[in-house]
Structure 1
Amino acid sequence: MKEENLKKLAKIVLGAGLIFAGIGHLTFVREEFKAQVPDWVPLKKDDTVVLSGVGEIALGAALVFTPKKHERIVGIVAASFFVAVFPGNISQFINRRNAFGLDTDSKRFLRLFFQPVLVYWALKSTGNDLKKIK
């Protein structure tokens, strides 16, 4: 498979994953997502989950449907989103909140290492040259 096709597939898979997660925020795993909202967030946990779900759906759709000439900026926005929600993963770990099968300290800790993968995935699949990002 050509590198360009692989990037396109990776971008679509990431976008579809965001859409699915966003739908989950609004429906079937809404309670689970509340476990990730840090206590210091000034909104109600449910409002935070709903708003972040809408954001994930929008980002996912943008990754899937944005024309190639705009995909780099969408990738930067998606990567920034993954950085912005990382405190939720830290909060879940620190406060020992069970959700998404993360029911031990080890599982919650290991989950922290997946967030940089998502940041990389968002940037790389949208043609951002990681050597030039400083």
Structure 2
Amino acid sequence: MHTSRLQNIARIVLGAFLTFAGVSHVTFNRHEFLAQVPKWLPIDPDLTVILSGIVEISLGLALIFVIQYRKWVGIAAAVFFVLIFPGNISQYVNKVDAFGLNTDNARFIRLFFQPLLILWALWSTNALKKKHH
């Protein structure tokens, strides 16, 4: 299915963003991401951060380079954004300072960006468009 030039640019930018975020998970921002892991998650927080970073790197690179399956990669990225949303909620509910979000208001506003990321992943890969036969 054809995507517009704007969609392709948006897909590549999202892929670069995810790749960078994934690299930062396993390197220089590891402590910040640890602060977001919900306490109720039954997995070691450090392992959670490392694995989510690997998934982000994989999704980011796939968004950029796996053009043939971009719709499915977009769906996978959207699902990933849904799955990590509890971390954002946990950061807000538990008043955890991380990534410069050191007020309740800042943490609350951030919650509204997750649905935008989901839509970005779906729109930029044409995953929202029905296939015509």
Q: What's the TM-score once normalised by structure 1's chain length?
A: 0.93
> Could you tell me which residue of structure 1 aligns to residue 84 of structure 2?
85
Say yes or no: does 1:17 pair with 2:17.
yes
Query: In the alignment, what sits opposite 1:58?
Result: 58
Q: Provide the rounded CA distance (Å) in 2 between the counterparts of 1:50 and 1:42.
A: 15
Unaligned runs of 5+ in 2: none
Return the alpha-carbon distance in structure 2 between the equivalents of residues 56 and 40 of structure 1: 22
- Structure-2 residue corresponding to 1:41: 41
Q: CA deviation at 1:129?
A: 2.3
Q: Shift in Å at residue 131 of structure 1?
A: 7.7
Q: Deviations over 1:36-85 (max 9, x none)?
A: 10011111111100000000000000000012x31101100000000000
SS class of match (1:85): helix
1:130 Cα deviation after fit: 5.7
CA RMSD for the aligned pairs? 1.4
Matches of 1:36 and 1:44 in 2, distance apart? 13
CA separation of 1:130/1:100 partners in 2, compared to 1, >3 Å: closer, same or farther? farther
SS at match of 2:43: coil
Partner of residue 125, structure 1: 124
Tell me which amino acid in the other structure corresponds to 1:86.
Answer: F
Q: How many residue pairs end up in the alignment?
A: 129
Q: Offset of 1:35 from its aligned partner?
A: 1.0
Moved over 3 A (4+): none
Letter in 1 for 2:4: E
Q: Alpha-carbon deviations, 1:93-132, whole Å to 9, x = none?
A: 0000000000000000000000000000000000122689
Residue 5 of structure 2 corresponds to residue 8 of structure 1: no
Unaligned runs of 5+ residues in structure 1 are none
